[in-house]
Amino acid sequence: MSATLHRIDGTSASPSLDPMVRLVAHDMNAVNSVILERMQSDIPLIPELAGHLIAGGGKRMRPMLTLACAKLLDYPGTRHHKLAAAVEFIHTATLLHDDVVDGSDLRRGRRTANIIWGNPASVLVGDFLFSRSFELMVEDGSLKVLRILSNASAVIAEGEVNQLTAQRQVNTTEERYLDIIGAKTASLFAAACRIAAVVAERPEAEEQALDAYGRNLGIAFQLVDDAIDYASDAATMGKGVGDDFRDGKVTLPVILAHARGSAEDKAFWRDAMMGHRVSDEDLAHATRLLRDTGALEDTLAHARHYGQRAIDALGGFGPSAAKAALTEAVAFAVARAY
């Protein structure tokens, strides 16, 4: 396996997911059919609530990664269709639960399910989708696939609990925060990519390479999300600007700005993360501090670093349309901030 190095320099013109979307369009139609079939229930509220989120305009990036990695490996079968649907169900279930925990009222620019139907219904439909994902895993019949995806589900939950216990703790370390996002976000990216190598019966080295690609992409993706919570707008983000700030989420930009700030700045961040500074003026002041200390730019520099690691993980695979699409997906994830 020869290595090819590609660089993320932030100057390429408008990277997008379009190459990946085109690459997997046929397979994605099959995945969508599985999703539609398996979200049905004799209890009308279940498909109504699940459909609200699943049809809400998401990029379906995680299942697309499963399909694109299968293309990278020239896998000729169809097992990955159900498994990609399982990945999407896991992701959707976690979103339903997250919105309840966070008290969110917007998701992808639309009202969240918990606002429309209430917290109990959102939690229970999330549980239903988790169950459906495990049914799909069992039907595949591979214990290795089951182990990878079930472990990812457990790690996601651990990451969410870890984040909950770190909430409003302004002294959270950078190391702990990277552990949190590595669990709550990157673990599903990694699993989504790795299972393609399992169904394609490829060597362990290729499994690990795709795991590394997905894991580093997931971290980069989350770090960019952390930055644009302060540096974007509701129309672009599909959620309220400054939600992390008002929820007291200690993300990497806050960790860096707090560490670099004056005593007065540190006092501001302590008050803000405790929920005592939640006005628009406070958010504007926080954003100024993040820019003045270089915290936003350094968070994006971290994202580019992990994005580069993701691209480097593909170095052992030969040139192909799939590899190009996976590489551009990383550039897209980072470029969302620009």
Q: Which residue has the tokens 């501090």?
A: 289
Distance CA(112)–CA(133), nearest Å, equals 22
**7: helix, strand or coil:** coil
| Tokens matching residue 336 | 């969302």
Helices and strands (H, E) in the chain, number of each type: 17, 2
> Hey, CA dihedral for 221, 227, 231, 232, is it positive or negative?
positive
Distance CA(130)–CA(88), nearest Å, equals 10
pTM of the predicted protein model: 0.92
- pLDDT digit string (tens) for the chain, length 338 residues: 333 334 455 444 689 999 999 999 999 999 999 999 999 999 999 999 998 888 776 789 999 999 999 999 999 999 999 999 999 999 999 999 988 988 877 776 788 888 999 999 999 999 999 999 999 999 999 999 999 999 999 999 999 999 999 999 999 999 999 999 999 999 999 999 999 999 999 999 999 999 999 999 999 999 999 999 998 664 454 456 788 899 899 999 999 999 999 999 999 999 999 999 989 999 999 999 999 999 999 999 999 999 999 999 999 999 999 999 999 999 999 998 66
Distance CA(217)–CA(193), nearest Å, equals 11
Q: Which residue has the tokens 């958010």?
A: 283
